[in-house]
Chain A
Amino acid sequence: MSEISSSSFIPKRKANDLSKPAGHRNIFILSIVSYALFVAAPVAAATIFIYQKYTDNTFQQNVVNLDTVIKSFNDADMLRVLDFHERLKLTSQIFHSQVSLASLLNILEQSTVKTVKFNSLKISQAEAGSLLAEAELSADSFDAVIFQRGQYENNQSLASSSFTNLIFTPPNSETTKDVKTTDSKPIKLTTKFTFTKDNILSVTSTTDPENNSISDLEVASSSLDFSLPEDISSQATSS
Chain B
Amino acid sequence: MNPFNLFFQISMVVIAVTIGVLYINPTLKEIKATQANSLIYTEEISKVSAVNDALADRIAYMDNLSLANKQALIKYLPDKLDEVAVLKDLKSILSTQSIEPKTLTYKGTENQKGTVDGFGNSTNSGLITHQFEISADITYADLKGLLKALEVNNYPLSVTSLTVNPSENGFLAVDISLATFSRKLEINPVSTPVNDGQI
| Residue ranges of A at the interface with B (Cβ–Cβ < 8 Å) | 23-24, 27, 30-31, 33-35, 37-38, 40-42, 44-45, 48-49, 51-52, 55-56, 58-59, 62-63, 65-66, 69-70, 72-74, 77-78, 80-81, 84, 86-88, 90-91, 93-95, 97-102, 105-106, 118-125, 127-129, 182, 202-204, 207-208, 211-214, 216-217, 219-220, 224, 226, 228-229, 231-232, 235
Question: Is B92 on the interface with A (CB-CB < 8 A)?
Answer: no
A122–B75 Cα distance when bound, in Å, is: 30
Check B73 against A91 for contact (C-beta < 8 Å): yes
Structural contact, A120 and B156, CB atoms closer than 8 A: no
B187 within 8 A of A: no
11 A-B residue pairs with Cβ-Cβ distance under 8 Å, sorted by A, are A31-B9, A37-B12, A37-B17, A48-B28, A101-B151, A102-B148, A105-B143, A202-B151, A214-B154, A219-B69, A232-B55
Q: Say which residue of B48, B58, B125, B154 sits within 8 Å of A66 (CB atoms).
A: B48
* Interface residues in B, total, Cβ within 8 A: 75
Instruction: Mark B residues whose CB is within 8 Å of A.
Output: 1, 5-6, 9-10, 12-13, 15-17, 19-20, 23-24, 27-28, 30-31, 34-35, 37-38, 41-42, 44-45, 47-52, 54-56, 58-59, 61-62, 65, 68-69, 71-73, 75-77, 118-121, 125-127, 143-144, 147-148, 151-154, 156, 158-166, 181, 183
Task: Pick the contact of A224: B24, B37, B61 (CB < 8 A).
Answer: B61
Take A70-B48, A119-B166, A217-B72 as given contacts and tell me if A77 and B55 are in contact as well, using a CB distance cutoff of 8 Å.
yes
The residues of B that contact A52 with a CB separation of less than 8 Å are 27, 30-31, 34
Tally of A-B Cβ pairs under 8 angstroms: 225
Shortest distance in angstroms between B41's beta carbon and chain A's nearest beta carbon?
Answer: 4
Contacts of A204 in B (CB 8 A): 151-152
Which residue among B6, B55, B163, B183 has the maximum number of chain A CB atoms within 10 Å of its CB? B55
Q: Bound state CA distance, A122 and B65, in angstroms?
A: 42
B71 CB contacts on chain A under 8 angstroms: 212
B52: which A residues are within 8 A, CB to CB?
Answer: 69, 72-73
Say whether B1 contacts A23, CB under 8 Å. yes
B73 engages A217 (CB within 8 Å): yes
Are A90 and B127 in contact, with the CB atoms below 8 A?
yes
Secondary structure class of chain B's binding surface, majority of residues: helix
Q: Assess A34 versus B10: contact at CB under 8 Å? Given A62-B42, A91-B73, A220-B72.
A: yes
Pair A101/B159 contact, Cβ less than 8 Å: yes
A91 with B76: in contact, given A34-B9, A69-B49, A127-B120 (CB under 8 Å)?
yes
Shortest CB-to-CB span from A62 to chain B, Å, is: 4
Whether B65 lies near A235 (C-beta < 8 A) is: no
Whether A90 contacts B126 by the Cβ 8 Å rule is yes
With both chains docked as a complex, state the minimum distance between the C-beta of B25 and any C-beta of chain A, in angstroms: 10
User: Which residue of A123, A129, A216 is within 8 Å of B69 (Cβ)?
Assistant: A216
Contact yes or no, A94 B156, CB < 8 A: yes
For A202, list chain B residues within 8 Å (CB): 151
Residue among A34, A56, A86 with the highest chain B CB neighbour number at 10 A: A34
One of B1, B59, B164 near A77 (C-beta < 8 A): B59
Q: Given the complex, which residues of A lie within 8 Å of B15, measured CB to CB?
A: 38, 41
A128 and B119 contacting across the interface, CB-CB below 8 Å: yes
CB distance from A233 to the nearest CB of B (A): 10
**A-B complex: 6 closest residue pairs judged by Cβ atoms:** A37-B16, A41-B16, A38-B12, A62-B41, A34-B9, A41-B19
Given contacts A80-B62, A101-B159, A220-B65, contact A208 B49 (CB under 8 A): no
Q: Which chain B residue has the least Cβ–Cβ distance from A26?
A: B1
